[in-house]
Structure formats: C-alpha cells, structure tokens
Structure 1
Amino acid sequence: MTTPTPAYTDTQSALTTAQIDAVRLHIKKTWKTLTRSHEHLLQSARDTKLEHKKDACWIVYISPLEDSPKIRSVLERSLSPKDMECLEIRTLPSEVEAIKDHGLLYLPGPYVVPGGRFNEMYGWDSYFILLGLLHDGELELAQSQVDQLLYQVQNYGIILNSNRTYMLSRSQPPVLSMMVLALFEHTQDEEWLRSIVPLLEQFYYYWVVPPHLNAATGLSRFYAFGEGPAPEVVFSERDEQGKSHYDRVKEYYKTFEVEDYDVSLYYNQETDQLTNLFYKSDRTMRESGFDITNRFGPFSADILHYAPVCLNSLLYQVELDMAQIKHILGNEQLEQKWSNRADIRRDRIDQFLWDEEQGLYFDYHFQSGKRRRYEFATTFYPLWLGIASPTQAKRVVKNLSLFEAPGGIFTSTRVTGNQWDAPFGWAPLTLIAVQGLHRYGYHTEGDRIANKFLAMVVKEFERHNTLVEKYDVERCSANVSDEICFGYSSNEVGFGWTNGAILELLAIGDKKV
C-alpha cells in the first residue's frame, strides 16, 4: 500500500469516509430512479418540454424498420391496461417532415436518463452515465445503455440528441466507440464487438462527410438538419414574463452591439425576426451539447463556421478506438488504416486548433482563417485524449489558473449569463480536465481540482440531499437559477452524468492509496 498523495490526504481529512459513503449510496439508489424501461413507458413518454393537452394521449413512435404489432403486444404485456389507454403507439414516418405530433422514440431495452426535465436518453450524457454504472457493478444496465445507442444508429440513422421526435435531426458529441470499449473491458465479448462494427462505422461517417466535414481543413463541425425554432425551446424555456428564449435573444440583438459576427446573418432588425440561419445555428449549438455559451459568438450563432476542438478531439479518439477494435478482431490492415486517419487528424488539430502564442487550443473559424481566442474548458480535450505533445500540455497547464475555480473548473473565462460559461462548472468538464492533467503527469494539479470539486459536491449534497446538473464553481453552490439569463435557468436534479463523473473522480483517488 502506497502513501496517499498530499492532495488526496487533504480530501480524506476534509471529507470523512461517512460523507463519501453517503454520496456513493445515494448514487447507487439513483440509478434505479433514473432507469426507464417498458414498464416505465408512460413515465418516459411524458414530456414537460412540450405543450400537452390535459386528456390527450402521449405518443410513442416505433421505428418503421420494426414489427410494430409485435412491439405493441410486448408493451401490452408490460403495462397495465390503464397505462396503455394513456399511450398512442404509432409507426414513425419515413420522412421527419411528415411528423405532425411529437413523441417519444421507442427503445427496446432499459436505459438511464439524466434526470429532472431530461426524461429521455441523451447521447453524450450516456458516456459519463456508463462510467458510473460500471463503477457500481451495474453491468447488465451498462450493456443495455450501450445497446440502446446502437439501436438508435440502426433504426434512427444516428445517435440522437435524445430519443424524442423533435431531436431526429441532430446528434450529440460522438462518444459511442469510447463506451463500447469501456464496456468491452468488462465483458470481453468479441462476438458482440464484431457484430457492432458496421454501426460504429456508420455513426463515424455521419461526422466525416459533408455537411459535417469542412473540406478545406479536413476537420469536422457540428451541423443540425432541422429548420426553424426548436420546439422544446419555444414552449419550455420561458421566463417569469412569459418571454421565450428566442424573445430574449431578439431583445439582446436590439439592445447590444455585436462585434463577433455579422448580426444581419442571424437577425433582421427591420422585421425584428431571427433568420432561418439563426435557427439552424441554434439547433446546431444543441447538437454540440454546449447549450448555451458565447463560445461561437453570442448564443453560439456562428457555430456553423467553426471547427471545434471538442468534436475533432473526439473524432481522433473514435479513429484510435476503431484501430483498437480492428486489432482486437485481428485485422492488422484495417487497424493501420484507422491509425493513419488518427495521425492525420492529430496533425490537422495541431495546424488549425493549437494556438502557439496563447498556449491553448481554440476553435477555428473557416471563413476568416483564424482561431477564436475564447478560453473554454474544451482546451483540455487534447490532453484528455492524448493528442497534445508534452510541450503543448505544459503550456496548457501554465494557463490552468484561467480555469481553476474554488469548486473545480470554470467552463469558460467569460461571464455571459449562459449556463456553459463562467461562473458555472460541469462534472464532465471537470473530469476531463482532471484526467487530462493526470495523463501528462500533472498529478498535483489534477488531484487539487478533483479535491475542490468533490468537496463542493459533498457540501451541496448535504445541504440539498441531491446531486445536480451544474454548479456555480465560484461560490461553490448548486443555486444557479438567478444567474442564468438565456436558455433554461433551472438546475436539474438526478443527475446522471454528475453521478458518473463523481464515481470516476473517486476512483482516481482510490487508485492512489
């Protein structure tokens, strides 16, 4: 048994075993309350983010590739007649535009939802949830979590932002291959791994061909296919005066001068209307998972014109993961092919996203040919995934003080009124930063940040008896609603990816003793 590092000794003295055990027990119990399966279908179908007539049925759509009558009979055996009366089972139209009434997209197995208003399965949340399930020995549920994402690729074309019809036109950050290999470590099921390779490749190609590919750089961008206002935003993201998020955006454009981009692309001042391009960008910003931040200009309206650090770092990891899978399955030729793709992407990340002068990774603007020097926690992704050279990692660590907060890692260095900017911090980004620091040997720094985040989470858990979606890491508080001006201001409880990140951070500490 080795001696604990000073940072984790401090954690143990600041947090007792009883305090940590209480959080662990809460997380273990929460997996059950956050799990949705056939027997919870009515609960899953309910959606507070859309207007719903009091006596109307909740709609569940079955993939047109499925045997709808067979699935209906399965559901009838799983649910009470009373619950079935409250549900309307439909076959999903083959064209998204033909959907008139929104509803839940059927998934065949159990899955874990984030919590609160997010009562459906989310794409990148699922990676952090999976880590937590694996730590907690919930192997069957972990397997199902991955299988539902694979089912989405097979039956709905991609991994969806979430399994609701209004999110059929956008995905979320690509973490599927990481999930597959994390699960495979526990199961060693090569037959299963071989069987899902076509689905992994299908999802990869979604990201690396136009319109997601920018041919000039060879890097990818986020790009949502839907048009017009996002339905869930119009109804649910309203303030006390009844103004929607989009109303508040228009007021901002009328009131403030914007120098980050050409506002006329996104807002028509004469008609006081947001443009079609604004709504396309707004949906795309939601595909990125970072809704909302000013990282790509106010409301991220200019996101379509950027190669993001986060997305391209994740695609590098997908290429490495595919190489590893080909190695496991004994195909050396294809292993080399995928490794070469990763090498090419690493070079392009170096060329376009690394800023030598600032010592940080920034998003690249295609049109101006410049990086946007907006300090954002995604600068830690290349450390997390091993893309940075030791020299680049050292430069990023020199800038750590820009992001380090009393409660972990600031999402950005700017206070904008958006939840994905300062003073807010999120468990996944703190975990990414900590793991990136450890990967390059900066253990003191990584332990210190993990220590801060865990201390804050435990303190707020003891105050509120719950774990939440995000925190004010400046004040070390879960009370964030009054500080958020755009998007939804609530702090959702549950919370799936916070649970997983906490268990992963605790595991880092456990490995040191």
Structure 2
Amino acid sequence: MLNSLPLYDELRLTSQDLAPIRHYIKHTWKTLTRSPRHIVKAARDPKLEYQGDQPLPVYLSAREDYVQVENKLRQLLSPEELAQIELQVLPPEMNQIEHHGLLYLPGEYVVPGGRFNELYGWDSYFIQLGLLQDGEIALAQSMIDQLLYEIEHYGTVLNGNRTYMLNRSQPPFLTRMILDLYHRTHDLNWLRSVLPTVQSYYFYWTVPPHLNQATGLSHYNAFGVGPAPEVISSEIDENGKNHYERILEYYRTHEIEDYDVSLYYDQETDSLTDLFYQGDRSMRESGFDPTNRFGPFSVDIIHYAPVCLNSLLYQMELDLAEMQRILGYGHAASYWLNHAENRRHLMNQYLWDDEVGLYFDYNFRTGCCRRYEFVTTFFPLWVGLASPEQAQRVALNLSTFETPGGLVTSTHFSGNQWDEPFGWAPLHLIAVDGLRRYGYIEEAHRIACKFVNLVLQEFNKTGTIVEKYDVKKCSADVSDEIFFGYSSNEIGFGWTNGVVLELLAMLERDGVIV
C-alpha cells in the first residue's frame, strides 16, 4: 500500500444509486449506433462545412461490390434519404478526392458522440468493453467486424472512417477486442478466420515507415500532405483563427527549445513546413491530439518511439501468440512470444528511466528520452512487461499524477487538452488495471473511485457523460482552459461510458460497491 492523498473519498454508493447513470449509458449505445440504415446521419460530418443542399458523399472501396451496396441501400432507405447521399467509388489517390466524405462500412458500429460521428480506432476498444458489460454482444461483434473490414478494404484500422483519415491509424487495441469477445463466444471458426487480417495489421505497425530500424521500436508516422481538413473547418477560436493559425502565432512569439523549430516553421516565409503537417497528422494518429508531450503541439512525434504504442504492440504480440495457442499452432505461438520478449528488452533499454522510476518516450534523433511526465507510463504495467521492481517504482510515483478527481494526464500545463489539468477515461482504466495487475489494489480502488465520483458528480448536474474532465478542479467545464485544438467537451461519450461500466464492474467484484 502506498500513501494516499487526503482528499480521497470512497465510492459510498449502492448499485441502486448507480441506476440512473447505467440507464443513461444503456440508452446512449442506441443513440450512438450507426449502420447503413443510418447512413444519412453518419454521412454528415460536424467537423466539415457543407454548401447548400449538395448530397453528402459516401465512398466505397474499389474492392467492394458497388451494385450490391447500392441495392442494399435502396432497400434500407427511403427515396428522400437516398437523395441526400451520393455513392462514389473511392479514387486510387487521395489527391483525386474532390469532396471529403464518409467511408462505407457494411454493419453496425458505435461512434463516440458530438463532433465525432464516425468509427474511431482506439475509442472502439473502450466502447466494446462497455458493450460487453451491458450484454450487447452482437453489437460488440459488429464493432470488430467493421474494423476488420477497414483493414481489408482501406488498408488499416483507420483513425476514423472519413476520407481525410485514410492515411492514418490509431493506437492498436484490435487483438484485445478480438480475444475479449472470443472469451465470451468461444467461436473457434471465427477466431481462425480473422487471424490473417490481424497479422497484416500488425505488420502495418512493424515495418517502415512505422518501424525505426535504429532502435527496433515503432513510432507514429502518418501519411498525407498539408493541413488536416477537419482542423481547418472546425477548430476555430473566438477570434476566427484556426488551430494552425494559432500555432503560427505561437512560433512567431515563443522560443522553442524542445526541438529544431526550423524543421517545422519557416521563419522567412512565416509558414508551416511540409514536415510540420506530417508531424501534425502523426500526432493525430497517436490519438493524443494535441499535447506537448513531444514538444509544442507534438509535431516532433515522428522522431520518437512512444511508450504507449510499443506497449500495445507488445500486447499484440502476446495476443497473437494466444490466438495461435488456442487454435493449436504451438510453433507459431512461440514465434510471437519471441517477438514480445525482444520488444520488452528493447523497451527496457530505451524507454525505462531507472533514475526517475518512470517510462518515457525515446527520441531516436537525439538519442535520449524526453522526461515529460505522462500517464502513459502505466501502459507497461497494463500489458505486464514491467518487472515487479519497475512496477513498484512507477507506483511510488503515483502522487505525481494523482489529483482529487483521479489522474492528470501530464504534469505540464500547455493549453492542450491532453495535458494538465485534464484527465481522460481510457488512461484511468489503463492505470487502474496496471496497478491491480501488480498487486496495488488499494491504489487502484482509490483512483477508480475518484474518477467515477467525478463522472457521477457531473452526470448528476447535467444528465450527460462527456469526453474529458478537469481532474484538479473536479469539473466538466474545460473549454476556457484549452487554447489549441478544439476546446469543446463532447457529449455522449462512447469511451467514457465504457470505462465507467468497466470500473464499476471491478469495484463491484471487489466489494467496494454493494
């Protein structure tokens, strides 16, 4: 047991007290579900501007049967609904897309909510946890099926199923989703059928350009040219400036010591470079958009081996070994276990800081870790690659992140939503499960109770669950503290819903809630 903060209050609630929030979440799965039947609703993107009554573009992979999909939509939609969309075959090159739009998916999926009206990569894992807790097995199955469809038809699990996200993925949780579902259904034929697709997704992350060959570790490295279209249209402040214009102003007025700013900002022309936009897209591929974890606006992320991504790839290697073992392929299981052990060794070599007792991201351009305290240091505990001694060192640093409302994402206030003073549901679950895995049960309960208390407190005020929270002030009112990216706090909210149900289930199993 480690020392706790004095502001800690246990979750002194019964299951009956939790009924309203459980009802809200159960109902919200329905409102957040999209499918071909809801394609008009799905096709409208709150992040883009539309001119007049032009039909909303819906794109099909060239590998899809256009006529079959068209006939399916004619059966599902009214003539009035059909007139609101325009079905097109996706062109072979991104620069041939004239109007960005929805990428077709054949089944049901759950979107996060608010401005995020599409299927997201890592959100889906935390949403699926909630679906499984709520007994929504068929919808959980369909979520995985849509992600597999993305790999087969669009090349990878996408950041989101919009054309402007075709060239970037998100943190890889897919194998966890598959095994979580398999342990409910025990469908061996299905598990066998998905294995080739999953293995191809693994290699997306472990060959160049995502592989840094000098370290043997992977990094985020998205494709694409120029600014992200959704940012230009929707991330506008009260002065009418978009995210990139605010960054230009920052570069003009601040000295940057975190990286070589000339790589990303051309002072002579007062413009952002092509490499800036690659870094910006890669930051969005990481899911942490934005933060100063990799220097201002994280555009230097392309030069880092991150703790989170490599922990997830370690987990993927273990999961692929487990799938092979279940299917009776012992030799193949050993192959993946060897890969996992090699990654564990490399992560200890490059990402573990024994002096501080935390995991940090490694800059392979400079040859050193960036000591930017970030709650992703709990990822190695969550996947089990930390030694007991390393886990103890991380746990002893818990007070670095702990606040009255849970865990702050970083210890640095930067004006970005993935830094202080904000806390996010997925990272709370990762930390709580990681602490529990190494025997820090009381600490895990304390963090879980703090965060659930905060979500409940704000739910009782507003009747909604939101995307992120100020865990220092214990509030969902965050907009005035965010200066870069989008400042809104979206309602829904898919992954917060799923994490709350998962944390409540853990607290009930452990007798904290009766």
Residue pair 1:380, 1:433 contacting (<8 A) in 2 also: yes
Residue deviations 1:250-274 (CA, integer Å, cap 9, x gap): 0101111110011111111121100
Instruction: Tell me the distance in 1 between the aligned counterparts of 2:11 and 2:34.
Output: 38
Tell me the residue number matched to 2:37: 39
Tell me the residue number matched to 1:156: 154
Deviation at 1:63, TM superposition (A): 1.1
Instruction: Tell me the distance in 2 between the aligned counterparts of 1:104 and 1:118.
Output: 12
Amino acid at match of 1:65: R
Tell me the residue number matched to 2:291: 293
Amino acid at match of 2:401: F
Task: Give 3-state SS (helix, strand or coil) of 1:338's partner.
Answer: helix
Residue deviations 1:10-50 (CA, integer Å, cap 9, x gap): 97763343331111111001000000012211000001211
Task: Give 3-state SS (helix, strand or coil) of 2:98's partner.
Answer: coil
Tell me the residue number matched to 1:452: 450
Q: In terms of mean alpha carbon deviation, does 502-511 or 284-293 score higher?
A: 502-511
Deviation at 1:78, TM superposition (A): 0.5
Tell me the residue number matched to 2:281: 283
Task: Give 3-state SS (helix, strand or coil) of 1:388's partner.
Answer: coil
Tell me the residue number matched to 1:49: 47
Instruction: Tell me the distance in 2 between the aligned counterparts of 1:421 and 1:178.
Output: 26
Residue pair 2:10, 2:449 contacting (<8 A) in 1 also: no
Amino acid at match of 2:38: H
Residue deviations 1:187-218 (CA, integer Å, cap 9, x gap): 10000110111100110000000010011110
Task: Give 3-state SS (helix, strand or coil) of 1:149's partner.
Answer: helix
Percent of matched pairs sharing the same residue:
61
Q: 2:331 aligns with which of 333, 336, 345?
A: 333
Q: 2:427 aligns with which of 426, 429, 433?
A: 429
Instruction: Tell me the distance in 2 between the aligned counterparts of 1:260 and 1:433.
Output: 27
Task: Give 3-state SS (helix, strand or coil) of 2:86's partner.
Answer: strand
Residue pair 2:404, 2:471 contacting (<8 A) in 1 also: yes
Residue pair 1:15, 1:455 contacting (<8 A) in 2 also: no
Task: Give 3-state SS (helix, strand or coil) of 1:14's partner.
Answer: coil
Tell me the residue number matched to 1:69: 67
Unaligned runs of 5+ in 2: none
Amino acid at match of 2:151: V
Tell me the residue number matched to 1:203: 201
Instruction: Tell me the distance in 1 between the aligned counterparts of 2:18 and 2:294.
Output: 38
With over 3 angstroms needed to count, the CA separation of the structure-2 counterparts of 1:71 and 1:127, relative to structure 1, is: same
Residue deviations 1:361-402 (CA, integer Å, cap 9, x gap): 000000111000000010000001101000000000111111
Amino acid at match of 1:368: T
Task: Give 3-state SS (helix, strand or coil) of 2:148's partner.
Answer: helix
Instruction: Tell me the distance in 1 between the aligned counterparts of 2:96 and 2:202.
Output: 27
Residue deviations 1:41-68 (CA, integer Å, cap 9, x gap): 1000001211211211100001110110
Task: Give 3-state SS (helix, strand or coil) of 2:87's partner.
Answer: strand
Instruction: Tell me the distance in 2 between the aligned counterparts of 1:11 and 1:356.
Output: 33
Deviation at 1:96, TM superposition (A): 2.2
With over 3 angstroms needed to count, the CA separation of the structure-2 counterparts of 1:13 and 1:442, relative to structure 1, is: closer
TM-score relative to the length of structure 2: 0.97
Instruction: Tell me the distance in 1 between the aligned counterparts of 2:17 and 2:297.
Output: 39
Instruction: Tell me the distance in 1 between the aligned counterparts of 2:52 and 2:126.
Output: 35
Task: Give 3-state SS (helix, strand or coil) of 1:471's partner.
Answer: strand
Q: 2:499 aligns with which of 491, 501, 509?
A: 501
**Is 2:73 the partner of 1:89?**
no
Within a 5 Å distance, the mapping from 1:289-438 to structure 2 comes to 289-438=287-436
Task: Give 3-state SS (helix, strand or coil) of 1:18's partner.
Answer: coil
Q: 1:169 aligns with which of 159, 167, 170?
A: 167
Task: Give 3-state SS (helix, strand or coil) of 2:17's partner.
Answer: helix
Tell me the residue number matched to 2:467: 469
Residue pair 1:19, 1:458 contacting (<8 A) in 2 also: no
Residue pair 2:123, 2:495 contacting (<8 A) in 1 also: yes
Amino acid at match of 2:156: I
Task: Give 3-state SS (helix, strand or coil) of 1:64's partner.
Answer: coil
Instruction: Tell me the distance in 1 between the aligned counterparts of 2:22 and 2:337.
Output: 38
Task: Give 3-state SS (helix, strand or coil) of 2:490's partner.
Answer: coil
Paired residue total: 506
Instruction: Tell me the distance in 1 between the aligned counterparts of 2:461 and 2:249.
Output: 37
**Is 2:102 the partner of 1:108?**
no
Instruction: Tell me the distance in 1 between the aligned counterparts of 2:36 and 2:78.
Output: 11
Residue deviations 1:261-307 (CA, integer Å, cap 9, x gap): 11111111121100000000000000000000000000001100000
Instruction: Tell me the distance in 2 between the aligned counterparts of 1:140 and 1:345.
Output: 35
Residue deviations 1:296-324 (CA, integer Å, cap 9, x gap): 00000110000000000000000000000
Instruction: Tell me the distance in 1 between the aligned counterparts of 2:9 and 2:330.
Output: 45
